[in-house]
Structure 1
Amino acid sequence: MGDTQDWAAGPGAAERARSVLAAAWSCGVTADGAREEYVGSHSVTEDGGVLLDVPEDSALLAAAFCSPRGEPSAVLEFADVAPVPVRQRIRARLWLAGWFAPAGGDGSLLFRPTRVVLWQPSGAVLVDLDEFAAARPDPLALAEAGLLTHLADAHPDAVERLTRLVRPESLHAATRVTPLAVDRHGLTLRIERTRAHGDVRLTFHTPADDVTQLTERMHALLAQASAAACPRALLRQRAEGDR
């Protein structure tokens, strides 16, 4: 069972939903009682519509052309999976309910959502459609997987240093600390224990709009971590000098 999570200074629901949609590589589609899985087959329009390429023998394509209105209702599901192996890797789920319509003669379908639901460990929220259409994905969403795996694999020492910014009680009985998520607002660490886990948010002093700015924000966090460790080191030196 996970601890209560702190998503303070993080993206709003509409931005988070658009980030999940932008970064997802696969989606599940339920229509007319049937479910189909598509991998690498969708793209996203500027206002949050979903273009889906389906094979000619797809039941979904047949439903789109045979529906009385030409617009079969459907539900699209997307999962946001942590790129670094951790306990309970699903960070969010996104459901879009709406209508499909043929987008051309090449087997493409355009999906227009009429209801958007975002689930995160903190709970589910109904996303306002106008806010969803106007929102933009986090600028780091497409780069996040590579950034986190690089941090975890190549810089475990940096992850360890960052734990100096975490309250000691949050690290009690910790067996492993892993980077779980990063966005323009901050970095989230997953703290695993033997039978539980919790997430801790390290907020950037200002948002990062690209990878270059993210590097600067990470260096700033590491500098804070080093500064936080200095008083402890001085106390140890003084204690040893008094012996």
Structure 2
Amino acid sequence: MPSAAERTRTLVQSTCSGVLLIPGAEGHRPEQLAPEARAVGPDGEIFLLYAADAPPVRAATHAVDDELPVVLELTDVAPVSVPHRIRGRAWVSGWLTCLPGVAEQGRTMLRLEVGEARVDDLWGTAAIDAEEFAAASPDPLHAHETELLQHLAAAHGDRLRELTSLLGERSAGLVPTRDVAPLSLDRFGLRVRFSAGPGDCFDARFDFPEPVREVSELRREMHRLFEAARA
């Protein structure tokens, strides 16, 4: 399974929504606190791009000792329609500073020095220290996950439904009309949500024999998984 640090790095470097929680900025709208872009530097620092007049930029500019304590809150929502679409959240806390002259005119780059992080997702809850975060890598499929899950949901619903044959005792009581949707995908496997309604659903994890490194390897493992369901 992916480590907590890897899962957090994946969320930070994905396109999931993120906002900066800043002391004294509670009255601002969420979109004013959301960076236009995020990136992780070689030492684990997080770079956040904002409009030059955005509240986080103003707050960091006037911070005491040029360091502002903040929390980057990330919310991961499934890219397909499923009950309970929020797949997880992560909170990365640290200190914010301005990097003048780095961004194009009208924009300001901010640097978040990571102190610690916490993730609460489909795998569970865990704390991550700055060293673990810096050493981790995002999941190699994260840039393709949305497209792949949406394709599975739109074009391969019948194949997903056939995965019930691999559930063993958990398949007892499943009815043919039960909703099945791909929930998440990473280098270790596929997670599917089986549902008969918002209050009646469960997830099943289908692990690959070996972690995949790229989309071509993923296609091969998905083919093997579907063939196993038909066997």
TM-score category, normalised to shorter length: 0.7 to 0.9
User: 4+ residue stretches of structure 1 with deviation over 3 A?
Assistant: none
Correspondence for 1:225 among 207, 217, 229: 229
Q: How does 1:177-188 map to 2 (within 5 A)?
A: 177-188=180-191
For residues 177-236 of structure 1, the C-alpha deviation after alignment (integer angstroms, 9 at most, x for no partner) is 111011111110101133221111011111110000000001111121121xxxxxxxxx
Specify every segment of 5 or more residues in structure 2 that has no aligned partner in the other structure, as ranges.
Answer: 27-31
Distance 1:46 1:157 in 2: 43
Deviation digits for residues 71-111 of structure 1 (CA, Å, limit 9, x no counterpart): 11111101111111111111110101111111222411111
Query: In the comparison of the two structures, how many residue pairs are matched?
Result: 218
| Greater mean deviation of Cα atoms: 189-198 or 37-46 | 37-46
Q: CA offset at residue 49 of structure 1?
A: 2.1
| Equivalent in 51, 54, 57 of residue 53 of structure 2 | 57
Match of 2:64 among 41, 61, 68: 68
Quote the Cα distance in structure 2 between the aligned partners of 1:89 and 1:157.
21
Larger CA Rg, structure 1 vs 2: 1
State the distance in 2 between where 1:139 and 1:125 align. Answer: 21
Distance 1:121 1:182, change over 3 A: closer
Matching residue of 1:88: 84
- Aligned counterparts of 1:171 and 1:152: Cα–Cα separation in 2: 23
Task: Specify every segment of 5 or more residues in structure 1 that has no aligned partner in the other structure, as ranges.
Answer: 1-9, 228-243
Judge which range, 44-53 or 88-97, deviates more.
Answer: 44-53
Q: 1:75 and 1:224 mapped to 2: Cα distance? A: 44
Partner of 1:37: 33
> Does residue 24 of structure 1 match 2:15?
yes
Distance of aligned partners of 1:31 and 1:224 in 2 relative to their CA distance in 1, 3 Å threshold: same
Q: Residue 193 in 1 paired to residue 196 in 2?
A: yes
Looking at structure 1, the residues matched to 217 and 123 of structure 2 have their Cα atoms a distance apart, in angstroms, of: 28
Which among 196, 214, 217 is matched to residue 218 of structure 2?
Answer: 214
- In structure 2, distance between residues paired with 1:139 and 1:122: 18
Greater shift, 76-85 or 16-25, is seen at 16-25
CA distance in 2 between counterparts of 1:202 and 1:183 reads 11
Q: Secondary structure at the match of 2:51?
A: coil
Query: TM-score, normalised to structure 2's length?
Result: 0.88
In structure 1, how many angstroms separate the alpha carbons of the residues matched to 2:194 and 2:43? Answer: 36
> Identity of aligned pairs, percent?
36
Residue 33 of structure 1 aligns to a residue whose secondary structure is coil
Give the counterpart of 2:74 among 71, 74, 78: 78
